[in-house]
Amino acid sequence: MISSKEVLCIFIFAIVVSLTHASDSSIEFTEQENSYLQNAMPIKMCVDPEWIPFERINDQGQHEGIAADLVQLVAQRVGLKIELYPVKTWDESLAASKSKRCQIISFINQTPDRDEWLIYTEPTFYDPNIIVTREEHLFVADLRALQGESVAIPRGTMIEEFIHRDYPNLKVILTESEQAASLMVSERKADLMIRSLIVAAYTIKKEGLFNLKIAGQVSEYTNKLRIGVLKDEQILRDILNKGVKTITPQEREAISNKHVVVIAQKGIDYSLVWKILAVLALVLLVSAYWIRKLNVLNKELERLSITDKLTGVFNRVKLDDVLETELKRSVRFRQPLSVIMLDIDHFKQVNDTHGHQAGDMILSEMAGLLRANTRETDILGRWGGEEFMIICPQTDINGSKTLATNLCRIIEQHIFPIVHHKTASFGVTVNQPGDQAENLVARADAGLYAAKHAGRNQVKIWPCHDD
């Protein structure tokens, strides 16, 4: 006889399976990709053996969790067989990947260090990182304001790499697991923890650490979890990427819910089955409401992640992405693409004479002036410090020079707060056959340097043309 618990499990599993297999799995492969698939041996995969509920290696040596289900769904749709490479720690998994003992890593954030040996698929899963503290800790609006506080971080993670780089004011305490980091904060051995929202919520509930709370978010560190692939396996990455693109938001949600829900204990009374189903229906309705709210929040977090906080224009990360995309488009359609780099002249004098607040006002005013006098098709962003970049699609060198010259005169005539008059120097370039994004940036920067060297408040085209 089937028990009431088995009835409930079969019911929930049927829902998950039906959602998981709802999308169209037809994928078109290139001749080269088809050849790879026909001759492919099982793909060795490294994982994090203890990253619940994202993934783990269970007592039977099997890979399970959100990552496991997503990777197997991708593998099924592209026709690859995936084999687990057994490890005991995340450090061991990274070491195995670096030494090419496994071809892919299941669930990983892209970082500069990992770029040395990995390429990546599109993200298979998104999850914001949050700040977790004890309940008496104040809300954290800016991590830079926390002087000398300690942060517990699992070893070998993206957060460890970025915190060392971006927040030297924090004292980093490395732990061997998520649970260990949570316990350190709960037991006052560390002031805070920065981790995935899903993992933190799961760990806090599982371990009963109810003296912890969410005290803030770190929008720039949103987890964009991808399948990492060895650099010399580009065809494999392209194949997997095609599978990743077939996964629907509904499938991600179903897989996530499958692993985040709390498993019922043994001994469920049959009379509770219908009550549980009723509660499940209510939970689904409430979840739909919160998912809608989270989607709005995620859009706002995405906007913040690509926006310069001071000036409100695009930041350098977004400019890099746009330049890569526009350069590919210009090559494909054989259209010109120009880049303008400009730098505020003698900006250091503003900070030295009037203070950094005055400097911030000038930067904000300059951004507004540039935004008001560029075209709708131009992409404006802050490159860094007092430098701005304007990407001009479908614009040849004459058009971009005219735009830069007009902006140069407008800035010269504008009345700025406090300092009244400022000027800027401009470097202009246009794409050439075989260009990479860095070539365009380097030439625009060289033109900017030439304008500075020639006396500032002027426009220089690079390679140098007769003006």
Nearest Cα to Cα of residue 6 among 306, 327, 295, 270: 270
- Give yes or no for a cis peptide into 463 (omega within 30° of 0): yes
pLDDT at position 467: 47
| CATH architecture under which domain 316-461 falls | 2-Layer Sandwich (3.30)
Cα–Cα–Cα angle for 386, 164, 178, nearest 5°?
135
Residue 81 tokens, joined? 């067989």
Picking from 444, 232, 189, 416, the residue whose alpha carbon sits closest to that of residue 339 is 444
Domain boundaries along the sequence of the chain: 4-123+224-298, 129-221, 316-461
DSSP state of 463: S
Beta strands in 47-128 (DSSP E): 50-51, 55-57, 63-64, 82-84, 104-108, 118-120, 125-127
Distance, in Å, from the CA atom of 156 to the CA atom of 99, rounded to the nearest integer, reads 16
175 forms beta bridges with 154
Q: How far apart are CA 440 and CA 444, in angstroms?
A: 6
**The predicted structure's pLDDT at residue 52:** 85
Question: Could you tell me the end-to-end alpha-carbon distance of the chain, in angstroms, rounded to an integer?
Answer: 90
Between CA 53 and CA 60 the distance in angstroms is: 17
CA angle 98, 101, 102 (to 5 degrees): 85
Q: What is the pLDDT of residue 273?
A: 56
CA 374 to chain centroid, in Å, comes to: 29
Can 4-123+224-298 and 129-221 be said to share one CATH topology?
yes
222 Rama class: left (phi>0) / alpha (psi -120 to 50) / beta: beta
pLDDT of res. 91 = 92
**Distance in angstroms (rounded) separating the CA atoms of residues 4 and 135:** 39
In 3-state terms, what secondary structure has residue 48? coil
Whole-angstrom distance, CA of residue 84 vs CA of residue 63: 7
Question: What are the two backbone dihedrals, phi and then psi, of residue 268, each rounded to the nearest 5 degrees?
Answer: -65, 135
Strands (DSSP E) found in 36-99: 43-46, 50-51, 55-57, 63-64, 82-84
Q: What is the pLDDT of residue 421?
A: 94
Q: Tell me which CATH homologous superfamily contains domain 129-221.
A: Periplasmic binding protein-like II (3.40.190.10)
Write down the pLDDT at residue 21: 37
- The per-residue pLDDT for 15 is 42
CATH superfamily membership of 4-123+224-298: Periplasmic binding protein-like II (3.40.190.10)
Q: Which residue(s) pair with 192 in the sheet? A: 133, 151
Instruction: Map 356-421 to HEC letters.
Output: HHHHHHHHHHHHHHHHHCCCCCCEEEEEECCEEEEEEECCCHHHHHHHHHHHHHHHHHCCECCCEC
Token reading at 147: 């002087």
pTM: predicted TM-score of the whole model, two decimal places: 0.47
Q: Is the dihedral of CA 450, 454, 457, 459 positive or negative?
A: negative
What are the 10-residue block averages of pLDDT along the chain, 467 residues in total?
Answer: 43 41 65 93 94 91 94 95 94 95 94 94 90 90 90 88 90 89 92 86 77 84 91 96 93 85 41 63 72 70 82 94 95 95 95 93 96 95 96 96 97 94 97 95 96 96 73
Distance CA 410, CA 230 (A): 50
d(Cα 113, Cα 90) in Å, to the nearest integer? 15
